[in-house]
Every structure is written in C-alpha cells, then in structure tokens.
Chains A and B, each alone.
Chain A
Amino acid sequence: MVTLNVNGVRHQVQASDDTPLLYVLRNDLQLIGPQFGCGLAQCGACSVLAEGREVRSCVMPVSAFANQEITTLEGLPARWAKQKGLSPEAAKSALHPVQEAWIEQQTPHCGFCQNGMMIKATELLESNPNPTVAEIKEAFTTSGPSPHLCRCGTYKAILEAVQHAATIMTQRS
C-alpha cells in the first residue's frame, strides 16, 4: 500500500512498492496522460513532474514518490490555476498556457510523445520564463535522463510552441 499525492489529490494504491509509477498512474488512477514509450528512460513519453522536476515514470518505483507532489498532464491546468491564484470558476475552463500553445501551434502529429514534451516545457518555463532557442534545445535534449524523442519529427512545432507558451505566460504574469 502506497500513498500518492497526484494532481493535488491523495490516493491510497494497492500496487506493490516496486511497481513503476507509470502503471499505477495509468491502471490504478486512470491518469492516461503519460504513455508507455520504451520503459527504459530513453524517450520521455511517460514523463510526469515530481516536485516540479521532470521524471520518467516508466522506470521509477511508486515507492520513491511517497512524499512527493506529482503532476501529470491532466494536472497542468490546476497547477497553473494555483500558481496564478485563479478562481475555481476560471480554473475549470482554463488549460495550462503550454497546452494552449500546443493547440495554437498545432504541434502534435500522432501526439504520442507530446505528454512528455508538454511536461518538459512546463518544467523549463517554470524555471526559465524566457528561454533562448539554445536553452529550449538543451532542455529537450540533454537536461533529462534522455532526450525527449518525437518519431513524427515535430521538433520545430514543439520549439515554436514553447516560445508561444513563454509569451502567453509572460503576458499573464
């Protein structure tokens, strides 16, 4: 039995301690934003934020997250609402600026990798609101356990969406 704090909600889960967090999120908590891409910490499809840091849920055991605040793709709007002190009403309809930018820029193709891309973008923009192109490339390539891979080749659209999100976030701060 493990207690998890995901997207601001506490959950008691039955899974054994060594179960990778990804399976708990997807199968026990029905949080389907993170996807299984490799199970090897090589691609980033399974990324979530733990204490604001991007981690690979496919390889990390659920027990490692006992006292951590986890945010999945589903939790990005609420995370933004909390950071901005939005009213519950406003929070309901809002997406995170990163998600808005991803739509505005029509970034995903198949979209299977984009959970990790949006999680990475959120991590980056929370610490660096105005990243340069080099900093964005660095974030998606060398900052994490592995580069964030997109087989559909949407890197240009991702880069433009990060820049777009940075603009929205600056405007609203």
Chain B
Amino acid sequence: MATTSPGHANVTGPTLSRRDFIRTGGVLVVGFSFIGTKALKADAGRPAAMKNTLDPTLPGSWIEIHPDNTLLIRTGKSDFGQSTTFTAYRQIVADELSVPFEAITTVVAGDTDSTPDGSGAFDFLGEGMPNIRKAAAYTYQALLDLASERLGVPKDKLSVKDGIVSGGGRTISYGDLVKDQQLKLTIPVSGDLTSIMGLTIEGNPPMKPVSQYSVIGKSFKNSIISSKVAAKTTWATDVRLPGMLHARMVHPKTLGSTLVSAGTLDKTKFPNSQLIVKGNLVGVVAPTEWEAIQASEQVASGTKWTEWKGLPGNEKLHEHLRHQADWTSTPVAKGDANKGDAAAALAAAQKRLSATYQFSYMKHAPIGPTMALADVKPDGTVHIYTHNQNPQALRGEIAMMLRTTPEHVIVHVYPGPGHYGRSNGGNAGAEDEAVLLSQALGKPVRVHWTRADDMKWSTQSPAAFSDVQLAVDEKGKLAAYQIDHYMPAMQDDRPIGAVLAGLPTMQAPQPKGDFVSSTVNGISDPWIYAQTPNVMELGHGTFQVGQQASPLAVGLRDHSMRTPGQFQQNYPRELAINEAAALAGADAIQFRIDHASEERVIGVLKAVRDASGWETRPSPRPDAVATGSTPVRGRGVSVMLRSRTYWACVCEIAVTPATGAVVVEKYTIAVDPGIVVNPMQLKRQVEGGAMMGVSHALFEEATFDESGITTSDWISYPIPTMSDMPEINVVLLNNPKVGTYGGGSEAANALAAPAIAAALHDATGRILRRLPLKPAYVQAMLKT
C-alpha cells in the first residue's frame, strides 16, 4: 500500500500534540505502571473509536516489561506471511532497548481491543521509522530516567546490556526497575485509529546509533512458522464458538442484479437449515458445514435475479477504457519530477517513440477463500473473528453499517491466507455478511466463501493503460519523456454484504473522495532518471468500470494489490525505457545508469548486472528471430524505487515463437533496502515476490463478460506451479549508511513484467505491450 500519509488529524487531545510534547521538554508526566491491559483501556473521555482499544499514549500499550526481564510487544499490524512483526519488530525493539532478541517473548498483533495503533498490514517498516521503533526509543529514555533516579547516577553515565542498567558500580534490571513503579511517560500520537493509516507516534526520541546494532542484521527465525508447521496455530478458519452456525452466501447472478425472489429452502432435505434474506443479501445457515453447503446450492438453484449487462467484457476492455470511460471528471495528477518542456522537445526530436501499454485486471486470489465468524451479542456488541489486514478500519466499517459507534465492535485477528492488500482498507470480504446473519439469528455465524465467491465477488487489482511519448537525441540520450497513466479508482473498501443489504457504507469512489476513496490516479512510481531534461508524468483517473451503470453501484470493484498503482505505472515506464535504449542503440542497463544520478539506483543496476552475468550490448540480440518452433532466448532489465528501497532485476527467458510459450529461466534480483534487518526473511520475501512477478507477467488476467467476473477457480485463473519456477538469485545490498530500514514484501512482484517483456523483445525483436504474456497473445503478436 502507498505510504503517503493522508494528513493526520489529532484525535487524542491537545495535550498530545507534537508542539506540546516539545514544549514540555520531551516527556509528559503521567502515572503509569505495567500492570496489564485492563489499566491500558481506561476509556473515560476518549472518542468512540479510541474506546475498547489500548490507550496509545501509554508506553505499556506498546511494550510491556515483566519482572523477569521478558517483554511483550503490541502492534496493530497483522501478519500475512511478511514475518516482520515476529522478526524485524522484535529485532528493532531489542536493539533500541538493549535486550536480547529472545527477551521479547510475546507479540500481540492486530486484535482491536489489545493493540494500540491500527493501520494496514503494509509498509511494516514505515520507511525506517515504524511506530514500534519510536515506542521502544521513548520507553528506553523513560527507563534510563527511572534508573538514574534509582541508582543516583546521571543518565549519561548509565550503560545498558541485556536489559541490565549499570552505573556508579551498581546494576539493576529493567524488570526490577518497573516493578511497582511508575514510568513517567506519555507517548505523543496523531492520526485516526480506524483510518487506513491508523495512528502514528510523533516526536523525535533519541535513537540507538546504527553502529551499535547487534540484533538487527541477523537472520532470526520467525516464531509463527514453527507453530504453523506443527499445526499448533489457531487460524481464523479454526475458530469455533458454542452454538455457532455455518453459512454459505448466495451472491447475485451478476454485478448489477437485484433479487427477484429467493429460492425456497427444501426443509425435507435440509430440516435444520435457515434462509436469511436482507435486501439483495441472501444467505443460508445450518448447524453443520456440509448441510449449509448443500442447502445453499439448493436455494441458489431456485433464486431469481434480474439480468444486467453493464460491463464491456474483457475483450473490449481497453477500447472501453480509451473511448468510453470518463477521464474528465477527475482532476489530473502531476508528477513531482515534471520539468522542462516535454511537448516542445518531442516535437523537435528525430528519434521518437509513441506507444500504449496495457495492463489487465488481476485477482488477489488468496489460496484460501475469505471467511469470517461473527457474534452479535444481545447488547449489540459485535465480535468478529477474521483474518484481516486492517482490523481497526474494519471496526469503523462494521459500526457504520450497523449505525453504531466503533467501541461496540471488537475484531479478533487470526492468521489466514495472504491476500496481498485486499483487506488493508478494512474488510477481507465475509465479515459484514457474517455480522448481518449473526444479528438476524442471535447466534454466532461463520461465513465461508467458496472459491468462486472469492474470485467473482471480491475486489480486483485495476486494469490500466499508459501512453508514452519519448525522444532520444543524437547522442543517444533521452531528450524528453511524457507518460499519461490511465487507471480506474483503485480502492473500494465498501463491504459487499452491506452494499447488497442496502445498509450504510462509505461512498463509492468519486472525484471528490478522500485519500482512500478518490478516483484521482496519483503518480506513484518515483522517477529515477534524473538526467532527463524534459519530463512530464500525468495521472488520469476515473470511476470503476460498471460502477455507475450497476443498480447495485458495484461494477468491477477494485482494490490495491501488492505494489499497488506503482505496478501499473512502473511496467509501462520500464518497458518504454528498454525501448528507448534500443532506439539509442544502447545497452539497457548502461542506458539506465547513464540517465540516473542517485548512487543507490546505479548501485542496484551494477549489482544485478554483475550477479546475472549480463553481456553489455544493445537489444534485440543480433540473431533475434520471431518465427520457428525452436526456443529463442533473451534477457531484460527493470528498476524500481519503492518506499526508500531500491530494486533491479534481470529476467532471462526462452520463447517458442510457434506456440507463443514463454518460460522464465533465470530471475536475478538486487535489492538495497538500506539496513537489512533480517537477511533470511528478506531473501525469502523477495523470492516469493519474484515468483508472483512471473505469475503476474505470464499468467494472470481476471476475465469478465458483460455481467461479471468469469474467472472462478484455479483453472480459469491459473497461477504458476513449482515447475514454472525460474532459477531465482537474490542479491541483498546491506547499506547501513542510509540509516533506515526498507521492506521487501512488495516491488519484487511488479519488477518481473517489464523485464520479461523486454527479454521477449531481446529474443524476437518484437515489442509486446500488453499483459499478461499468455501463449495465444504472444503467438499472435509474433506472427504479425
């Protein structure tokens, strides 16, 4: 998810503003003791969203120190396999507090009533400054204050090792320091707890110098992996409550259908089942899962919906986006790097390229479909048990749907299948439906979507296209570059059950929407070719396809997905830069180096060049050929800067022109995140991302007809198998002088596509500018 902050509002009262914090000399004095979560939840006088959650101003809400010198940390960010909360967060806290990694015995993540800060499961390392780092840094200072008092030694004469403070010839452990004591500290925070970005810790507490790190930089193992491997983890799919009913949904026939009549439940066959209808929301519940499945299928077969044909169909998608979509209602976004006069330079140039690049809809496609268990209590309190990337935002959405306030909604988060951003704005898909069914029946209800529900009724990563115009001068330098990015709104966080039931939700994406729901297509791929004299990047946004035509206001709902927006923008840019290099008769890596200024851009390019054994020469290769049934080989490169992490990859492919089959044989990827917190975990993240990158480039397209999504399973939405795996080489560039940490869970999935398309050009001499590069498309394009 994008890391831009949407302008934080201070919700915790005037005493906590940053200005006041600084005025009082860095420490506000409040009584505080480490006595568990109850005391951290004193709700009096706090806004509704801040009730039934931990007080983020209290250090114990973040880090709890126990008498035996062990620690517990809490974060609103839930884990979906990124490992950060269980490895990097522990390492960061350990170094800031000078305790061993093993001293942090517990990580509490996600649950809305026992974590302080909210936000989505993205950007875990917060551009080097995650909340937990500042929380640890503040706590460290407060501990030193306390130790100074206790030992009668000035703060700057104290030293700490393994959680033991020494000074003046005496020592005391953190555990003993805080026992029956008060830590004099209030942590300043800002933000909106139930927004997509959650709360941010403010101020600038002193940080441990990078040179003194001893835990960061080592490959600690991820504790939750051991538990998952041993079948000891409770997944969201495993939660059962007494009296719980199983449910399956009967979703509408199309993305614009309304209910004519629900099928009659055959009580002779399914005596224990019940049918629930609320507006266009239809669900079937039963005491056993198998009965719920069969009964819902029986009801579905008799349910009648109106017809609707309001979508262009994927064959006509790009024609629709180009000619019918409304790009004029939404303000055009301009890139920060725009300079010079691209139009004039283009007009004057000899060697020019003018091309369009097209990007398909893709599904997040978690390996398990979404599910949730809800328990609406008689007093209106709602408990939700789910796998969710932004539980605090979900609270807000459910409260809005039920016309209540967030303190009545408690979200319990459990591990679940990775869904790569789909729920970072709140809902994973089934929570709202489970709540509505539970409310109707007064019993806990567990809704599990089918594979087809998950493919057809979840959001998708938006399609896009980009028009590029560029010019190369006689010296082989890029003289001008203009790109116009076109993409429908990317973030629709309306819970679908609430929409179907006709209950309140946030607004559908529109030009005047806020940070999240706006149709504005901001420039999200930082420009790195600083030596280009004339640059113009523009972002054009519009409504989601079908959104306005659908009687349900649904259409093709979009949602950010791993490297969101930047993927749609980096793919055309990097492929176009490969074409520019070819136009200049230059080597594609050297051409990039020659246009970059930043040392770290050049660093990753050189690293990937060395590691891949890249042969310096222009593309296409001299013997490139676009015909025949013998595989021909090529290589391509791409670069990305994302959240202060620098990436470059080289993909080597073999393509068989006669069949159009593309195989990625080798994928070399270099990453400079600044400080590498945990090499093993970072390497695994990058490898997984690289594999998903191959998937996006070669396999993935969510198809749809005039009525709705037509991909429904792993046959109609294929992803790679182990046999599709290239040789993957990851080069980690530890760069401590940068002083911040960078993440590795995004970017790798987006880098492959332009590099693979460039490799195809290298091999065949043909440029293919549409994703995915499926055999039929490649075959047809090579024939022309």
Contact = CB atoms under 8 A, between A and B. Distances in A.
Interface of A: 15-16, 18-20, 23, 26-27, 31-33, 35-40, 42-43, 45, 72-74, 95, 99, 102-103, 106-115, 118, 136-138, 140-142, 146-159
Given A74-B231, A107-B225, A112-B366, A157 B237 contact: no
Interface of B: 80-83, 221-222, 224-226, 228-231, 233-235, 237-238, 240, 288-290, 365-369, 415-418, 448, 450-451, 680-681, 684-685, 687-692, 695, 713-715, 719-723, 725, 728
9 contacts: A74-B231, A103-B221, A106-B83, A107-B229, A112-B366, A113-B417, A153-B691, A153-B692, A159-B722
B264 to A, nearest CB: 22
A140 to B, nearest CB: 4
Nearest to B82: A109
B367 A149 contact: yes
B713 A32 contact: no
Contacts of A16: 290
B32 to A, nearest CB: 36
A158 B722 contact: yes
A108 B229 contact: yes
Contacts of A99: 229-230
5 cross-chain pairs, A with B, having the tightest CB-CB distances, nearest first: A153-B691, A109-B81, A110-B418, A110-B81, A147-B721
B451 A111 contact: no
A99 B418 CA distance: 21
A107 B668 CA distance: 20
Contacts, number: 176
B231 A156 contact: no
A39 B231 contact: no
Given A20-B290, A140-B723, 12 more contacts: A15-B288, A18-B290, A23-B289, A31-B231, A37-B368, A39-B451, A40-B451, A45-B367, A73-B231, A106-B221, A110-B418, A140-B722
A42 B725 CA distance: 19
Nearest to B448: A36
Most interface-central of B230, B288, B368, B722 (chain A CB within 10 A): B722
Given A27-B288, A112-B368, A154 B687 contact: yes
B691 A156 contact: yes
A43 to B, nearest CB: 6
Most interface-central of A20, A26, A142, A151 (chain B CB within 10 A): A151
Contacts of B80: 109-110
A138 B725 CA distance: 12
Nearest to A161: B229
Given A32-B237, A45-B367, A110-B415, A103 B226 contact: yes
Contacts of A150: 367
Given A15-B290, A19-B290, A146-B714, A151 B719 contact: yes
B688 A23 contact: no
Contacts of B713: 38, 40, 42
A159 B725 CA distance: 10
B493 to A, nearest CB: 21
B691 A155 contact: yes
B721 A102 contact: no
